[in-house]
Structure 1
Amino acid sequence: MTLGQQLKLTIQLSIPAVVAQFSSIAMQYIDAAMVGSLGAEASASIGLVSTTTWLFSGLCVACATGFSVQVAHAIGAGDMRLARAVLRQSFVATQVFVCLLAAAGMLISGSLPRWLGGEDEICGDSSLYFFIYAAFLPMLQLNFLSGSMLRCSGNMRVPSMLSMLMCLLDVVFNFFLIFPSREVSWFGLSFFMPGAGMEVAGAALGTGLAEMVTAGLVTWYLCTRSSNLKLSGERGSFRIKSATLKKALRIGLPMGIEHAVICGAQIMTTVIVAPLGIFSIAANSFAITAESLCYMPGYGIADAATTLVGQSLGAGRKDLTRRFARITVFMGMAIMGVMGVIMYVAAPLIIGSMTPDAEVLSLGVMALRIEAFAEPMFAAAIVAYGVFVGAGSTIIPCLMNFFSIWAVRLTLAAALAPSMGLKGVWLAMCIELCFRGIIFLFRMEKGNWMNKI
């Protein structure tokens, strides 16, 4: 392939993946904005457990990736029968895992907000929100698995379109579930709008229902319409084979540990922020949600990198693998650098759209503007990680993330928060992301990660 062809293929795969990331982040933004209209306490009740929901979601992603990377390698090698065999086994293995995870989540939901240092007035809503979230985890896992399988086969468009649909459904469900029945005026016309008035619980239920509908659609398409992976018309066993499970564990277990490391650090950050008060908790949650609008291109390009690297290595093309790695990483850095500038300038508008509270707005804007300076190096870490996942090399990146987050970020945050408040926490995050990007770039250029296959 010429350099122009490589760039064209990277862009073709990246754009739908970025759209999918955008719709996923938009769901969080929508929930934050809708609940934010109810006041700082409602926002804080969701923000308190948000890091724990990311931990559980990350474990679901890791479980799905352990199988989807095998499918990418099989497709790259031209072995479609093996790819479909791995797909069948993945449905069983991932659902067994996620049912256990969901049960654990529902069991701890009552105590979790207090473990995180939440104040009494928000603990009840936080517990209910997390319980509903955990109950829908099997649908979220199915969504992740089917979407990941389609992306690893090279089909980015369908998962992206369905992600956009999920975002739209989330708005509709939230509109009727969060707010009570009321009189609404649009364009000078007044009419009665029914509503459940569930507030925070309605946000969790609305998101869960949107995930359920989308999971059904993306799984149906995968099994009946995918050119490489459709299962209809072919008989095969769903029994899990030890070789497949061992490979999935080798790829997915370090990823799961890595997600636990990152989210565990985010939970510790929540514990550091919680004593700063409800306004800081809400501002921290809004700033994290808003920042995700900036780094979504990085994760979209990382998805494309996983596909390109996985299929290139599956075909035995290390030269092509290295070129795709460099193209995707530096493309991600350039785009997220531009997004960082936009985030800095538009910070008041972004945070202001989620909360009317002046103190929360001021703290959120301050946090976003600090973080804007770290976006290019954050992109390097995000996309390089996607490269390593595509190669099946996940153990060393896990250790790198562990050291960077726990030794650099949390140490600095704990030292700076007592004197600088929320500003110190976000300054520590900015420094750590720059450090992490540097070490990921160094490992990518060294090239040892390509020896896994």
Structure 2
Amino acid sequence: MTLSLDILAARMRQGESIPLGDTARVAVALSVPAILQQLVVTAMEYIDAAMVGHIGAEATAAIGIVSSSTWLLHGILVGLFTSFAIQIAQYLGADRQDDARGVLRQSMIFNILLGCGMAALGIGICRFLPGWLGADPSLQGNASAYFGIWSAALPFSMAMGMYSAMLRATGDALTPSLISVLVCVLDIFFNFFLINPTREMELFGQTVTMFGFGWGVPGAALGTALATLIGGLAALAVLLLRESPLAIRYPGSWKITRSCLINLWRVGVPLAAERAALSSAQVLLVRIVSQLGTVAIAANSLAVSAEGLCYMAGYGIQDASIALVGQAVGAHRRDMSKRFAWLCTGMGMGIMALSGVLMWLFAPALMSIFTADAAVIALGAQMLRIEAFAEPMFGASIVASGAMQGAGDSTACFVLNLFSMWGVRLTLAFLLAPRFGLTGVWTAMCVELCTRGVLFLLRLARGKWLERGALA
């Protein structure tokens, strides 16, 4: 019999002693598709960056100047919808399926209200944002258009993220990864026609005229928005139509409940605040980098995209740890919660250490995927090799924070990230950038990520993250 998360949760509720091998099998079974999903998401970012990067450094810089702001808006929404997935994991672990379906219904209401509200905010400020960030006037038009189009798709990107997280909370990590593959393929297709102008191309030895809109940077934003729209609708369709513990075809109330609001306040608000703190710090870092010139802006933006190849495994395992620890906490099994937390954290550190080595070795090749500009490639490769040393501890912070979040201890995650990002990275970057340029900024990042990893490992070892207990 295949060992799945729901079977393991039933055994935990019965008080069984679960062999380590069974625990590891479920952790790997959830982690591998989640890592695949992160790989696809990163590939989509690579594709976008590469397609835009070959237009020129200015096009890349235009997207780079607003990228931290997209992280800010999206990060706030991620924090909120992750809290819904944590509630569902804990309710399913406690075998409270009606409550889990109630959370799903309420999340759909929040998705519409918050997603549309954030979209309106982003569209409203897109004209002014590049100027606020200190962008060169030559970059502001494309940067504004990109941010406005990206913002308009926020309700659908939130839907895709929210419902994918809920599917993982049930133990189904494969379906979200397949939806991500679909979105990536659509993104390539749309970008191919929207970014490039009509041109002559060689196809099977024949010269053909390939139609294109030639919209450049705005075309890249529109292609991603259309792909995300379809992905969000696909994730919702799975939850509406498929037979599962979350199938909302079963009768139930759509009323916003007090317990859901309390849990959202206890877990979701600190998560959103954490994302806001991290992303707003990134905005300030972009402001620092924007003073270093177009080559530095482009190298910074593309190096950040390239580094995504390294930490995607960490975030995939983090997604698995949230579901695993959440269900163990719901089943009132502190022993299994700790086992899942340490098992997943060790996996994350090991895989990210290996990917850090590969990133150091192949840094120039990674950068050349995105751009042909020799100066941007050389500078970006230097930054990646600085960052490679921090990857194991970065993995520790990513996965350990997921385990703590699955237990409902999101406030501690917020405090640790706030101190690390604002107290260490920003302070060092502000001091080092004037003298060492972009190298100083990335050195500050490396030091901060190592510090963050140590802080999260200490918190995990002390065990206080389990004191929050199951949700209401």
| TM-score of Structure 1 vs Structure 2, range by shorter chain | over 0.9
CA shift, 1:11, in A, is 0.5
Task: Indicate conservation of the 8 Å contact 1:77/1:311, yes or no.
Answer: yes
Aligned partner of 2:369 among 353, 356, 366: 353
User: Counterpart in 2 of 1:322?
Assistant: 338
Aligned partner of 1:72 among 78, 81, 89: 89
Q: Spell out the pairing of 1:26-105 with structure 2 (5 A cutoff).
A: 26-105=43-122
Task: Indicate conservation of the 8 Å contact 2:405/2:413, yes or no.
Answer: no
Establish whether residue 367 from structure 1 lines up as the match of residue 367 from structure 2: no
Q: Spell out the pairing of 1:99-114 with structure 2 (5 A cutoff).
A: 99-114=116-131
Deviation larger for 235-244 or 197-206: 235-244
Establish whether residue 393 from structure 1 lines up as the match of residue 409 from structure 2: yes
User: Counterpart in 2 of 1:422?
Assistant: 438
Once residues 246 and 127 of structure 1 are traced to their aligned partners in structure 2, the CA distance between those partners, rounded to angstroms, is 37
Residues 190-242 of structure 1, C-alpha deviation per residue, up to 9 Å, x if partnerless? 1111111110000000000000111111111112114211112x222222112
Q: Spell out the pairing of 1:83-162 with structure 2 (5 A cutoff).
A: 83-162=100-179
How many corresponding residue pairs? 452
Task: Indicate conservation of the 8 Å contact 1:60/1:144, yes or no.
Answer: no
Task: Indicate conservation of the 8 Å contact 1:75/1:83, yes or no.
Answer: yes
Task: Indicate conservation of the 8 Å contact 1:66/1:249, yes or no.
Answer: no
CA shift, 1:182, in A, is 1.0
Once residues 261 and 81 of structure 1 are traced to their aligned partners in structure 2, the CA distance between those partners, rounded to angstroms, is 34
Aligned partner of 1:243 among 237, 241, 259: 259
Residues 370-420 of structure 1, C-alpha deviation per residue, up to 9 Å, x if partnerless? 000000000000001100110011111101111111111011111111111
Establish whether residue 290 from structure 1 lines up as the match of residue 284 from structure 2: no
Aligned partner of residue 254 in structure 2, secondary structure: coil
User: Counterpart in 2 of 1:166?
Assistant: 183
Once residues 428 and 68 of structure 2 are traced to their aligned partners in structure 1, the CA distance between those partners, rounded to angstroms, is 19
Deviation larger for 185-194 or 258-267: 185-194
Deviation larger for 163-172 or 235-244: 235-244
TM-score scaled by length of structure 2: 0.95
Task: Indicate conservation of the 8 Å contact 1:150/1:226, yes or no.
Answer: no
Deviation larger for 124-133 or 58-67: 58-67
Residues 253-311 of structure 1, C-alpha deviation per residue, up to 9 Å, x if partnerless? 11111111111111111011001000000000000000011000000000000000000
Aligned partner of residue 208 in structure 2, secondary structure: strand
Once residues 253 and 163 of structure 1 are traced to their aligned partners in structure 2, the CA distance between those partners, rounded to angstroms, is 27
User: Counterpart in 2 of 1:383?
Assistant: 399
Amino acid at match of 2:99: L
Once residues 262 and 26 of structure 1 are traced to their aligned partners in structure 2, the CA distance between those partners, rounded to angstroms, is 23
CA shift, 1:443, in A, is 0.1
Residues 161-185 of structure 1, C-alpha deviation per residue, up to 9 Å, x if partnerless? 1111111110000001000111111
Task: Indicate conservation of the 8 Å contact 1:76/1:310, yes or no.
Answer: yes
Residues 88-128 of structure 1, C-alpha deviation per residue, up to 9 Å, x if partnerless? 11100222112111111111111100111100000010000
Task: Indicate conservation of the 8 Å contact 1:63/1:94, yes or no.
Answer: no
Aligned partner of residue 117 in structure 1, secondary structure: coil
Once residues 401 and 111 of structure 2 are traced to their aligned partners in structure 1, the CA distance between those partners, rounded to angstroms, is 22
Aligned partner of residue 291 in structure 2, secondary structure: helix
TM-score scaled by length of structure 1: 0.99
Task: Indicate conservation of the 8 Å contact 1:299/1:382, yes or no.
Answer: yes
User: Counterpart in 1 of 2:468?
Assistant: 452
**Percent of aligned positions that are identical:** 46
Q: Spell out the pairing of 1:300-315 with structure 2 (5 A cutoff).
A: 300-315=316-331
Task: Indicate conservation of the 8 Å contact 1:51/1:266, yes or no.
Answer: yes
Structure 2, unmatched stretches of 5+, are: 1-17
Amino acid at match of 1:99: C
Once residues 254 and 210 of structure 2 are traced to their aligned partners in structure 1, the CA distance between those partners, rounded to angstroms, is 47
Aligned partner of residue 210 in structure 2, secondary structure: strand
Once residues 236 and 111 of structure 2 are traced to their aligned partners in structure 1, the CA distance between those partners, rounded to angstroms, is 14
Deviation larger for 151-160 or 215-224: 215-224
Once superposed, which parts of structure 1, at least 4 consecutive aligned residues long, lie more than 2 Å away? none
Once residues 289 and 260 of structure 1 are traced to their aligned partners in structure 2, the CA distance between those partners, rounded to angstroms, is 20
User: Counterpart in 2 of 1:268?
Assistant: 284
Once residues 223 and 308 of structure 1 are traced to their aligned partners in structure 2, the CA distance between those partners, rounded to angstroms, is 24
User: Counterpart in 2 of 1:256?
Assistant: 272
Once residues 412 and 331 of structure 2 are traced to their aligned partners in structure 1, the CA distance between those partners, rounded to angstroms, is 24
User: Counterpart in 1 of 2:198?
Assistant: 181
CA shift, 1:186, in A, is 2.5
